[in-house]
Amino acid sequence: MKKLIVAVMIGTLLTGCSTNKDNPFLQVYDTPFSVPPFDKIKTEHYLPAFREGIKTHQKEIDAIAENSEAPTFANTVEALDFSGELLKKVSSVFFNLYSTDTNDKMEAIANEVTPLLTEHSDNLYLNKALFQRIKTLYDKRSTLGLNAEQIRLLEKYYKNFVRNGAALNDEQKERLREINKQLSLAELQFGQNVLAETNAYQKWITDEKELVGLPENVKQSAAEAAKEAGREGQWLFTTKKASFIPVLQYSENRELRRELLTAYNKLADNGNKNDNKPVINKIVKLRVQKAQLLGYPTWADYELDDTMAKTPQKVYEFLASVWEPSVRKAREEAAELQKMMDAEGKGEKLEPWDWWFYAEKLRKAKYDLEEEALKPYFKLENVRKGVFDLASKLYGLKFKKLENMPVYHPDVEVFEVTDANDSLIGILYTDYYPRAGKKAGAWMNNISEQYIKDNINHRPVICNVGNLTKPTSDKPALLSMDDVETLFHEFGHALHGLLSQCTYPSLSGTNVARDFVELPSQIMENWCWEPEVIKTYAFHYKTGEVMPNELIEKIQQASTFNQGFVMTELLSAALLDMDYHTIKDTADIDVTAFENATMKRIGMIPQIVVRYRSTYFNHVFSGGYSAGYYSYTWAEVLDADAFQAFKETGDIYNSEIAASFRKNILERGDSDDPMKLYVAFRGKEPQPDALLIKRGLK
């Protein structure tokens, strides 16, 4: 029955909007700053716009490939990079909303359009005539008089064509097309299954006695969630982190902690229609086949070829260097927590659902610091203003809230970002609260990218998305420490997109190697707990009083607390990712056994669960980070070393260092090799010890 409904719905979507007059995507945006007219965009507009965008882009590609004139950088590479404007226009809006506000209709469109986009991409990269033009230019690139950015773009296109099968024979190309089609749909299904499982789980509490230990604001959030679901007088908890993490931290009801963490750890692993174990098998097999078809022994070899790390061996060596001190520290932390449990005389052994609870108790005992006591100082609007003020002090940026702008959801706010000289930097959308149609996690998206064409510097439109703590009926959104770091982190990505000063769209903003893209985001986390910065955003939401020095000092003292747990949880996921993607054959995998084998091999302690179990590891099976989850830790080496450049001067707002970071990192996108960009900023390559020292592991 459901398939029939979807089929009818797609048919309606395909025929329901076919004229330029009523489809905003097929017109010039008549909006401030040319932002998308979200108030006019309807679901039925997407598929016609996608089809027209693909059709138009294919005509542009054909014109470039069939050009009778000899290939030049301008008529081939530059023309290609500026092509596909309509397709980018609809894709950026659709996939942003598909992540933030999906529903059955949006999923039907995604299922329909994904194979179309995959086929279109194959048509581009497997075009013989087009590849020959690019190869001709690539082979004589040193004689073309190109600048560094143009050479970078030419080399990037040549490599992308080869990596996408341009050098294969016809039979191999057809096989690649089929693999790409199946792979794109499997990755889509993986993410849909995780979201379906997340939305399906509900833990209802009817007796308030079961909530012993929970702060009032946590209970209030759960009560309001229940009320919204039509069951006033009860409490609702879900597997969304904003809902269950506070339970793990504060609930004295051990069974409730166990049930919620177990439900989270079993997402898409319940033997039902949303079970991702068969999907993982399919994805891994297809990736092995694709990598080997393209001449790489494993998917990791294929993916890492275009990164700073380059090889799986380099990644494994790097992870091992950080894993050993991390898990050693985690064992010490586990022993300390077990000692605390033993003192209670219950005879209980530390389990994963106990760690957060006893760590919170230990933090209180060691540092007289309770995270719940900090939250009243972390009102979301104040934290956001704090990060805006930081960008102003570092880079001279100014932020002005814009009213009456078209938005895709009432939670969204819009800001105009200008430079010190009042010139436009870009437009920033913020969308911070969880809702049923929004995927878990936090991210930055480009709604439109920065580029320069016909001497016009097109400024970007950027979106920061999160799942931070929501306001309640009598309290504003009060953030946890993790929420604060997340806001700073994603804003760092936004700065990378906003401050871009590149000529070509493919090189601008965050279009960089995965193990470099996290540097601009993670460096921002270094500022958020500096005393000078805390005092710019940490004001009590009732009194307006700035956070007292004694609380700030406690935050500083506790800065390396529980870091063995944090790093062990993170690194185990990175190692699991690498193990999946260094598989060389296509034999069936027992996903649970495979995951357990990885944890045993690396010496994972039983009191900690890998940050993302296989069945809900969206980053690597649906989110573009396959064989790349290590990059968060890799980039942390960069960010720890980079922040030292500020600390060494004794001024965390040092204008000269900030100007260099902006000029050499934030503005340059992928216009040069990332290590060259880093050395241009820092004067030397990064020192790995900076990370271990920062985390208190050395």
- Range 609-623 burial, b when 16+ CB lie within 10 A, else e: bbbbbbbbbbbbbbb
Cα(556)–Cα(567) distance, integer angstroms: 19
CB 231 within 8 A of CB 138: no
624: left (phi over 0), alpha (psi -120 to 50) or beta: left
Residue in the block written with tokens 């078209």: 406
Cα(497)–Cα(499) distance, integer angstroms: 6
The H or E element spanning position 237 is strand 235-237
Cα(140)–Cα(143) distance, integer angstroms: 6
Structure tokens at 686: 């990064």
Q: From residue 683, how far is each of 666, 677, 690 by CA, in Å?
A: 16, 10, 16
Cα(160)–Cα(120) distance, integer angstroms: 15
Q: Is 646 helix (H, G, I), strand (E, B) or coil?
A: helix
Cα(27)–Cα(308) distance, integer angstroms: 41
DSSP 403: S
Q: Is 545 helix (H, G, I), strand (E, B) or coil?
A: coil
**Amino acid making up residue 597:** A
490 has catalytic annotation: yes
Catalytic residue among 112, 303, 490, 530: 490
φ, ψ at 156 (rounded to 5°): -65, -45
CB 569 within 8 A of CB 610: yes
Strand partners, 431: 465
Cα(605)–Cα(333) distance, integer angstroms: 11
Count the neighbouring beta carbons within 10 Å of the beta carbon of residue 82.
16
Q: Where would I find the beta strands (DSSP E) of 597-640? A: none
Cα(9)–Cα(315) distance, integer angstroms: 46
Count the neighbouring beta carbons within 10 Å of the beta carbon of residue 474.
7
Cα(304)–Cα(290) distance, integer angstroms: 14
DSSP 505: G
**Amino acid making up residue 599:** M
Q: Compute the C-alpha angle 353/327/341, nearest 5°.
A: 40
Q: Which residues are catalytic?
A: 490
